[in-house]
Chains A and B, each alone.
Chain A
Amino acid sequence: MQQKNFKKIFSSDVIFALFFITFSIVLLLIIPYQVEKPLSFMGGAGAALDPDLFPRVVGFFLLGTSIWYLVRSLFQTGTKLELDLDIKGGFNILVTLVIFLAYALLMDPIGFIESSAVTLAILMSFMGNRNFLITGGVSLGIPFGIYYLFTRQLLVSLPESYLSSVLDKVLALAY
């Protein structure tokens, strides 16, 4: 019963309104430390528009809108917005985020083809693909294809590695 009352007051809307109120207050408080001051010229202002004017306006308007959002959420009648995310879904998202971050951080050190092949294999298996022939073929073929498209056709660089040098040698033999 108590939990129900708690949920009734603290819907997702209320929690996020409180988050944005806090965010806007923090934004307003850090402006003096995070916005560089212009050099004064002959005792006057260096620019027509102070660099902290827009941040202040945005901070105050964000605070005002968030308070309006909070008040409206608290007095809202009918169905309140609840975050539609169960533990299993949350776990899936957490794992995906870890995979994304690892992919982002490992692409440079281990190379595009290797990091992409591992990421593809993990993501495809994680999403329930149990055909290992498809998983293996796609995980190896696609990174080579994308690497070839970007580095050879569009002439831009992607992180190199042992496998990319193998591709270079094969292409050199072919042409």
Chain B
Amino acid sequence: MWESFLEGVQLSLRWDTFGMMSLGLFLGMFVGALPGFTTLMAVAILLPISFFVDPLVGIPFLLGVYKGGIFGGSIPAILVSMPGTGAAVATTFDGPELTKQNKGKKALEMAHYSSVIGDTVSDVVTILFIGPIALLALKFGPPELAAVIFLSLIVITITTGGDFAKGLIMMFVGIFFAMIGQDPIGALSRFTFDIFPIRAGIPLLPMLIGVFALPEMMLAVERKAKSIVAEKIDLEKSEKLTFAEFRRCFRTILRSTGIGTSIGMIPGVGQVVAAFMGYAAAKNASSHPETFGNGELEGIAGAEAANNAVNGPTLVPLLTLGIPGDNLTAILLGAFIAQGLRPGPTLFEEQSAMVYAILVAMVLANFLFLIIGYFTIPLFVKAVSIRQSVLLPLTVVFAFAGSYVFRSNTFDLIVLVFFGLFGYIAKKLRFDVTPMVMAFILGPILEYSFGQTISLADGSLLNFVFVDRPITRIILLATPVITGFLLWRSFRHKQKSKA
């Protein structure tokens, strides 16, 4: 493992990797800074660029967009109280108050440094833990994989969507979409309705781009959103962050980093929850909690360190088990597949040096993030007031071009439009598309693993699963307990909200 790590370090030290990561960070911060544009949308639209370059250039590029986007969302959150991404909602509690007090620059610098520290520490933790987890994952056979995918789907359905029934419906719809084409065991035709282009199934990439990028555009068109912010923002005379202030917030940054790192490893929870938990922990630990919500720098540090600390650990379930923890890692999975790589236990076994190279690149990206962010924040402040009527049509052209180039097939563009409409309707009706996307990706693997389990069981499935396979038994017995706990927590949260 140590040799693989050293080889990974050597592999990651490439100029083109650094160049594309820097470009990714720049684009991510830019998109994150635009209110109404999400990091998810940016990663989905820029995904096709990663297909046609080396995996060690394309995947770090997307990771750069991801990291930059999560931080970029804090810029409009601090300046105009409009979170650029969901992860920056907790930043709006104190950011706009600091801007009103002429401390906008101070808040942006605190968000930047907290994000870099949170991201770097969590990436190092990821590198330390991913090897042992991958070794454990190697013990997984078809029954264990089927059980863990089933559990992951349930956890994602409960934690991502607001409503369990709606989440379950979306999950089953996702499995249905995945069943179109060929069955994964015998390659027999299913639900093709004699339409030739779907005989190989629904293409993943136009589906991902459609469901994550086009609905934002359609929602903006529905409102005919010309621009979000009209006024110009000037930070020239705003106060800068002092070392004493940074030192005062350091404990909060470390605490939130721990919270974000732990949350990142759980599939489906994500940055939004981490940011709120980081903020709440900072407030609880503070000797002056009354200042939170009235322009407290620790509030910014708590939320921003926590949401960026999620970035690295979300890759753990993806790289070791092939299970994406959230929408963004689902798109990253698409990038891996397009490169001919299948994340999971075998990827770590066969190409561990490349996996480590990607993780080392993530750590190095944070240093670039520190430098690029320092020089470009004033530029991104101006991006907050760019007109949406110019930017949104550009994203449409990029989405169409990106969906076309992979197979050069017009049918993929129809798939893109269909899933764009699907995503829009789902948003309007408050159905979360995450369980659908996860089920679409994991459904065939679940069916294949289940089929193999039946073959291995040789007629006595229950005996095989519960007696011969102890890990499967533990996962299956834990499933109702975890489900019950998550449902109880969600119910209690709703009751609290009502009260």
List which A100-142 residues lie within 8 A (CB) of chain B: 100-101, 103-105, 107-108, 112, 116, 119-120, 123-124, 126-129, 134, 138, 142
A72 within 8 A of B: yes
B376 lies within 8 A of chain A by Cβ:
no
Known interface pairs A58-B175, A65-B172, A154-B53; A124-B397 also in contact (CB < 8 Å): no
Is B361's beta carbon under 8 Å from chain A?
Answer: no
The answer, yes or no, to whether B222 is at the interface (CB within 8 Å) is yes
In the assembled complex, B492 has its CB within 8 A of some CB on chain A: no
A1-9, A43-51, A164-172 - interface stretch? A43-51
Q: Is the beta-carbon distance between B400 and A107 smaller than 8 angstroms? A: yes
| Option from B165, B183, B390 in Cβ contact (under 8 Å) with A65 | B165
* Docked complex Cα distance between A38 and B404 (Å): 34
Picked from B179, B389, B393, the residue with its CB within 8 Å of the CB of A54 is: B179
The chain B residue sitting closest to A86, CB to CB, is B222
Partner of A49, one of B220, B389, B451: B451
Cα distance A100–B443 in the bound complex, in angstroms: 29
B194 nearest CB neighbor, chain A only: A34
Q: Report how far A16 CA is from B393 CA in the complex, Å.
A: 31
Q: How large is the interface on B (under 10, 10 to 19, 20 to 34, 35 or more residues)?
A: 35 or more
Task: Note all chain B residues with C-beta closer than 8 A to A157.
Answer: 405, 408
What residue of chain A has the Cβ atom nearest to residue B172's Cβ?
A62
If over half of B's interface residues share one DSSP class (helix, strand or loop), that class is named, otherwise mixed; here it is: helix
Alpha-carbon gap, A112 to B189, bound state (A): 33
Chain A residues, CB < 8 A from B390? 124, 129, 134, 138
Assembled-state Cα–Cα distance A150/B33 (Å): 26
A12 at the interface (CB under 8 A from B): yes
Q: Which of A34, A47, A51, A116 has the most CB of B within 10 A?
A: A51
Is A38 within 8 A of B188, CB to CB? yes
Would you list which residues of chain A between 38 and 70 have a CB under 8 Å from chain B? 38, 46-49, 51, 54-55, 58, 61-62, 65-66, 68-69
State A120–B405 Cα separation when bound (angstroms): 19
Interface 9-residue window, one of B132-140, B298-306, B341-349, B421-429: B421-429
Residues A62 and B176 in contact, CB atoms below 8 Å apart: yes
The interface residues of chain A lying within 8 Å CB-to-CB of B179 are: 54-55, 58
Which residues from B are CB-within-8-Å of A12? 429
Question: Is B166's CB within 8 Å of the partner chain A?
Answer: yes
Interface residue A173 (Cβ < 8 Å from any Cβ of B):
no
User: Which of chain A's residues 144-173 have a Cβ closer than 8 Å to chain B?
Assistant: 146, 149-150, 154-159
| In the bound complex, CA of A49 to CA of B443 (Å) | 14
B173 touches A62 (CB 8 A): yes
Check: B388 CB closer than 8 A to any chain A CB: yes
Query: Is the C-beta of B416 less than 8 angstroms from some C-beta in chain A?
Result: yes
Known: A107-B400, A150-B405. A101 touches B417 (CB 8 A): yes
* A48 contact from B188, B191, B451, Cβ within 8 A: B451
Q: Residues of A contacting B220 with CB < 8 Å?
A: 127
Size category, A interface: 35 or more
> How many angstroms from the CA of A89 to the CA of B225 in the assembled complex?
11
Query: In the complex, are the beta carbons of B447 and A54 less than 8 A apart?
Result: yes
Contacts of A93 in B (CB 8 A): 218, 221-222, 424
- Asked whether A128 lies within 8 Å of B223 as measured between CB atoms, the reply is no
In the bound complex, what is the Cα–Cα distance between A83 and B426 (angstroms)? 11
A51: contacting residue among B176, B190, B404, B421, CB under 8 A? B190
B285 at the interface (CB under 8 A from A): no
Q: Mark B403-444, 1 if CB is under 8 A from A, else 0.
A: 011001010011011001100100011100000000000010
Cα distance A126–B390 when bound, in Å?
11
Q: Does the CB pair B416–A104 fall under 8 Å?
A: yes
- Separation of A1 and B160 alpha carbons in the complex (Å): 38
How far apart sit A108 and B186, CA to CA, in the bound complex (Å)?
A: 35
**Which residues of B sit under 8 angstroms from A96, Cβ to Cβ?**
217-218, 221
**Bitwise interface map of B from 9 to 23 toward A, beta carbon under 8 Å scored 1, else 0:** 000000000000000
Q: Are B176 and A58 in contact (CB under 8 A)?
A: yes
The answer to the question of B371 belonging to the interface, with a C-beta cut-off of 8 Å to chain A, is no
* Chain B residue with Cβ nearest A73: B165
Residue pair A92, B221 in contact (C-beta under 8 Å): yes
5 pairs, CB–CB < 8 Å, chain A vs chain B: A34-B190, A104-B417, A119-B393, A120-B396, A156-B52
Binding site for B on A (CB under 8 A): 12-13, 16, 20, 27, 30, 34-38, 46-49, 51, 54-55, 58, 61-62, 65-66, 68-69, 72, 81, 83-85, 89, 92-93, 96-97, 100-101, 103-105, 107-108, 112, 116, 119-120, 123-124, 126-129, 134, 138, 142-143, 146, 149-150, 154-159
Given contacts A89-B222, A105-B413, A149-B49, 5 further A-B contacts (CB under 8 A): A27-B176, A69-B165, A103-B400, A123-B396, A146-B401
